[in-house]
Amino acid sequence: MSQLRYEAPGSVDEAVALLASDSDAKVLAGGTDLIVQMRSGLRKLGLVVDVKKIDELMSVSSDGGAWTIGAAVSGAEMNENAALKKDWPGVVEAVDLIGSTQVQGRASAGGNLCNASPAADSVPAMVAAGATAVIAGPNGRREVPVEQVPVSPGKTSLATGEMVVAIKMPAKPARNGEAYLRMIPRTEMDIAIVGAGVSLTLDDGGTCTAAKVALGAVAPTVVIVDDAAKALIGTKVDDAALEKMAAACSAACKPIDDKRGTIEYRTKVAGVMARRAALIALERARSN
Amino acid sequence: MAKKYHVSATVNGDPVEFLCSGQETMLDVLRDRLELTGAKEGCGSGDCGACSVTVDGRLICSCLMLGVEAEGTSIETVEGMADGDQLTPLQRIFLEEEALQCGICTPGVLVAAKALLAKNPDPDETTIRYWLAGNLCRCTGYDKIVRAVQKAAAEMRA
Ligand SMILES: Cc1cc2nc3c(=O)[nH]c(=O)nc-3n(C[C@H](O)[C@H](O)[C@H](O)COP(=O)(O)OP(=O)(O)OC[C@H]3O[C@@H](n4cnc5c(N)ncnc54)[C@H](O)[C@@H]3O)c2cc1C
Ligand code: FES
Ligand code: FES
């Protein structure tokens, strides 16, 4: 029987060196995906690099309004950070939707992103909010928009030896609001059949000047719907604009058909979820 | 010979040391190496909460934690609740309110409810139901569990 080798380095450099030493090595953050996959035999055992002893991956800080969230910080801890929640409630709420209280105790945004599930809840919210991922590897560091990390179900753009160190959130623009909503067949503990993240910014007169709409679970990776954003920009986010935005979302869906949601249902609901999320984002933008 | 890891941790206030293999879960360590069989394995995949423990005060599923990760941490299980035969109010009220039948889910529910009350001494019904959404019970129905938590919370506040 193969054995699992465990290392818990104290620095990013050591973690990168370990990851680079073995092409099958995996980062262990909260383990709420990785340990499930290992136990079900989906992942073969090899080297696991626990990154939770690295301060940078476990801390949240803000600098001039911009946030740096350690990739392995748990959902529970993000949710307890009142200042972060005030700036980016949609992102924090999306992370909070992941699993139960017990799962929240360990699950991280970095793990949610790097697991590269099409239904990952935090991803559309982070994409809409303009989050970036700081990646460290054998050749140093690079920063990319979070949507560039997952490339297909279960696969990321990270090269051997690379890991996500932190998620960065920009300084909150004035009169910006964002929100994430998902549709699940039950009320808790389920996987999204559609997720919608919407961020919008208003001018003094309440006209939308910038918007970003991202959908989860309706295609192999997160979908940024430019036509949905265009439908909002230049409007007062009135019914007509929301209608157009919802139609653009439905048109952008390329969902799977399964027992949890048919293609038709997912396509329709994508517009409904985006519309509801946009209304919450609008409320938040008006009060910011 | 398979590699074993030497781990030192605190469990229910007592220092413990154990050897485990890399892939052994914390739940396996608790049950098979430390003989603390309160935490149960219902699913092994994070869905049922029967394996709930706290690690450094944080509620988690011990089936989704590796034993080696316990190094330097402080873990609390259901065995750490009662003082000898002296049950905590939460445990006693679970019995009085018949908030269990087979009892498989009970250690996890108690650990989770204790963590909730430590954070929020006066949770409303909705808060309790969401907090305990990751603790499945196939027997009692959740009403009695929720009522027992509310009653214990009231007694503990008094
Ligand atoms: C009961 C249950 C319910 C769940 N419900 C939901 C849900 O509602 N919505 C949802 O989106 N997900 C859900 N999940 C899935 C899972 O909890 C989330 O995807 C979680 O965010 C994963 O984070 P983690 O820290 O546990 O990741 P891990 O399991 O530690 O890692 C996940 C993957 O990402 C890699 N990885 C982790 N961190 C890094 C990093 N910093 N750099 C590079 N690679 C990294 C790992 O190697 C692994 O491949 C659920 C899981 C369970 C068990
Ligand atoms: S055994 Fe851990 S959640 Fe079911
Ligand atoms: S009492 Fe039997 S599962 Fe809860």
Give the model confidence (pLDDT) of B38-47 as tens digits. Answer: 999 999 999 9
- Whether A103 lines ligand 1, by a CB cut-off of 6 Å, is yes
Report the distance separating Cα B126 and Cα B124, nearest Å: 6
Domain span(s) for CATH 3.30.465.10 in chain A: 5-169
Has residue A224 got a pLDDT over 80? yes
Percent of chain A predicted with pLDDT > 90: 89
Same domain, B58 and B23: yes
Q: Of B57, B80, B103, which residue is a domain's last?
A: B80
CA distance A151 to A163: 15
Q: What is the pLDDT of residues B12-70, one digit of tens each?
A: 999 999 999 999 999 999 999 999 999 999 999 999 999 999 999 999 999 999 999 99
User: A17 pLDDT band (50/70/90 cuts)?
Assistant: very high
pLDDT band at A188; cut points 50, 70, 90: low
3-state helix, strand, coil split of chain A in percent (to 5) is: 35, 25, 40
Query: Are B75 and B106 in the same domain?
Result: no
pLDDT of residue A186: 76
Distance B6 CA to ligand 2 centre (A): 25
Domain span at B47: 4-80
- Residue A76 has, within 13 A of its CA and on its CB side, a CA count of 18
Same domain for B98 and B144, yes or no, is yes
- Which residues share a beta bridge with A183? A194
pLDDT of residue A185: 82
- How far CA B111 is from CA of A70, A236, B135, in Å, comes to 28, 49, 10
pLDDT digit string (tens) for A49-103? Answer: 999 999 999 999 999 999 999 999 999 999 999 999 999 999 999 999 999 999 9
Query: Do B8 and B69 fall into the same domain?
Result: yes
Q: In which band, very low, low, confident or very high, does the pLDDT at A260 lie, cut at 50, 70 and 90?
A: confident
The residue written with tokens 């330097």 in the block is: B72
Mean pLDDT over residues A173-191, rounded?
A: 88
Tens digits of residue pLDDT in B67-113: 999 999 999 999 999 999 999 999 999 999 999 999 999 999 999 99
Indicate if the pLDDT at residue A15 is higher than 90.
yes
pLDDT given at position A261: 85
For the A5-169 domain, the top CATH level (class) is: alpha beta
* Two structure tokens written together for A104: 């929240």
Are B59 and B115 members of one domain?
no
B25 lies within 8 A of chain A by CB? yes
Q: Are residues B95 and B149 in the same domain?
A: yes
Confidence band of A139 (pLDDT split at 50, 70, 90): very high
* Burial of A256: CB neighbours in 10 Å, binned 0-12, 13-18, 19+: middle
Domain count, chain B: 2
CA B139 to chain centre: 18
Q: Given this model, what pLDDT does residue A117 score?
A: 96
Position B157, amino acid? R
pLDDT at A232: 98
The mean of the pLDDT values for chain A is 95
Give me the helices (H) in A1-66, please: 12-20, 34-39, 55-58
- Closest protein CA for atom 9 of ligand 1: A98
Which of residues B80, B106, B125 is at a domain's end? B80
What residues pair up with A179 in beta bridges, in sequence order? A198
* Cross-chain CB nearest to A3 (options B21, B63, B112): B21
B70 and B108 in a single domain? The answer is no
Residue B1 has pLDDT above 60, yes or no: no
Q: Is residue A39 less than 8 Å (CB to CB) from chain B?
A: yes
Last residue of a domain, which of B80, B99, B128?
B80
Pick the CATH number of A176-287 from 3.30.390.50, 1.10.3130.10, 3.10.20.600, 3.40.50.10490: 3.30.390.50
Nearest alpha carbon, ligand 1 atom 36: A111
Q: Are B3 and A5 in contact (CB under 8 A)?
A: yes
Q: Would you say the CB of residue B26 lies under 6 angstroms from ligand 2?
A: no
In chain A, CATH 3.30.390.50 covers 176-287
Is ipTM strictly over 0.95?
A: yes
> Which ligand 3 atom is the nearest neighbour of the CA of B100?
1
* pLDDT at B62 (0 to 100): 98
Q: What is the CATH number of the domain that holds B97?
A: 1.10.150.120
Q: What is the mean pLDDT of residues B138-156?
A: 95
- pLDDT of residue A1 exceeding 60: no
- Clarify whether residues B46 and B112 are in a common domain: no
Ramachandran region of residue B68, left (φ > 0), alpha (ψ -120 to 50) or beta? alpha
